[in-house]
Structure 1
Amino acid sequence: MNGRLIAMEGLDGSGKATQTALLCKALAERGIELRRISFPDYDEPSSALAKMYLNGEFGSNPNDVNAYAASSFYAVDRFASYRRFWKQDYQNGALIIADRYTTSNIVFQLSKLPKERWDDFIDWLQDFEYNKLELPRPDLTIYLSMPLKVSQRLLTGRYHGNEEKKDIHESNESYLAACHESAVYAAQHLNWKIIRCAEGEKPRAVEAIHKEILQKVMEGSQ
């Protein structure tokens, strides 16, 4: 019997890695068999095209690569990861927790298209990854909603003020603002669980966010 798949989503600087780690720790302490995965899988050659794209080798603006081409870079990386590393665990009933998943293609690629094409793109993407590539569909998607000003401040801190370390997504605030809008649209239309990660321009406490996420996960498992 297949396991469950939980996708953690959010813009860069929203705290996904931290919250994914805390969630995995809390669930493991409850005796739940799980596996943590993360995308892009930068340690594997399957992420090569995604890395080239983010490094600006196909253009310095995210919109230089259309939504369908960029989505394919990330989808192939997921396909390789699933087939090589976690398909057996998933099919044997384990819980898979993903720091980014197919849902990231919606967050970061949807905004490249006119709004009247958003629904068509979402349908295309889900058919491509879940049907044609035969990747598992998430049972629960949690979207960490962090205001852009706050996430950018946190990213600057992560890179110790060196703006050159940001990739073409992280360094383009107008693009990220558009991604936030498309993420909110997707969350509402695809029943993602939205977790507020800030009060105004001040980040919420990490532990408070974690408790809310854990509650959503435990509710979904019942």
Structure 2
Amino acid sequence: MTALQSIFENAGREVAVYGFPDYDHSFLGSTVRAMLMDKLGDAKAIHPTFSAALFALERSEKARQIRADLAAGKLVICDRYVYSNVAHQACRLPAAEQLEFQKWVEHLEFETLGMPRADATVLLEVDEAEAERRRISRSEQAQGARPLDAYESDTAGLATARTIYSQLAQRLGWLNVEAFGGPPEEITARVLRALSPVLTP
């Protein structure tokens, strides 16, 4: 996100960047981390309704500030947002229940908790080998070296989440960007080209 932020700020835009979950700076961040590290029991055994609610509540801590940023005319960029919750929780449900679960999460986050709806969502597509490399890299860099968490190590769940992301992108009209096979500068340029029709001056 740093590259996009710099480009927009150099173009004269005020930018606010958020990453979810915010493990270090939100009230519930440490609780989310404890759940993912199986410190509250087997994370994959917790029903998605309850784990999704925890992720949603953690995100909602920033709702007021995001709305204030938007009201001030800032460009708000979020690394993971509501539909990350949908994909990574619905992957543990039968396919027949996933659409209804999506609607439940949407109501919880947008209606009950007041999260703003995104004007555009970019799905960064990577192949499985690159996705694995990046998971390991994040694990090594996040808050010092740590093992992969319960979701990151669940390869079957991640494969299902990938499918759900693709379905969401098609159903909701997201912007799909190939985020591998080139240097970071080229990937950033691809994102900017995808966003250009929806960005206002």
TM-score (norm 2): 0.88
How much does 1:92 deviate?
Answer: 2.3
2:115 to 102, 124, 135: 135
How much does 1:188 deviate?
Answer: 1.0
**Residue identity in the other structure for 1:179:** A
In structure 2, the CA distance between the partners of 1:128 and 1:156, relative to structure 1 (3 Å rule), is closer
In structure 2, the CA distance between the partners of 1:153 and 1:52, relative to structure 1 (3 Å rule), is same
What's the counterpart of residue 73 of structure 1? 54
In structure 2, the CA distance between the partners of 1:157 and 1:102, relative to structure 1 (3 Å rule), is closer
Count the aligned residue pairs. Answer: 196
What's the counterpart of residue 185 of structure 1? 167
Q: Distance in 2 between matches of 1:131 and 1:191?
A: 21
In structure 2, the CA distance between the partners of 1:97 and 1:211, relative to structure 1 (3 Å rule), is same
What's the counterpart of residue 37 of structure 1? 18
**Does the 8 A contact of 1:47 with 1:73 survive in 2?**
no
How much does 1:99 deviate?
Answer: 0.8
Unaligned runs of 5+ in 1: 1-19
Identity of paired residues, percent? 24
Q: Distance in 2 between matches of 1:130 and 1:154?
A: 30
Task: Choose between structure 1 and 2: higher strand proportion.
Answer: 1
TM-score (norm 1): 0.81
**Does the 8 A contact of 1:106 with 1:186 survive in 2?**
no
1:22 maps to 2:3: yes
**Residue identity in the other structure for 1:135:** M
Q: Distance in 2 between matches of 1:137 and 1:73?
A: 19
**Does the 8 A contact of 2:126 with 2:178 survive in 1?**
yes
How much does 1:136 deviate?
Answer: 0.2
How much does 1:96 deviate?
Answer: 0.8
3-state SS in 2 of match to 1:219: coil
3-state SS in 2 of match to 1:129: helix
Unaligned runs of 5+ in 2: none
Cα RMSD over matched residues? Answer: 2.0
3-state SS in 1 of match to 2:61: helix
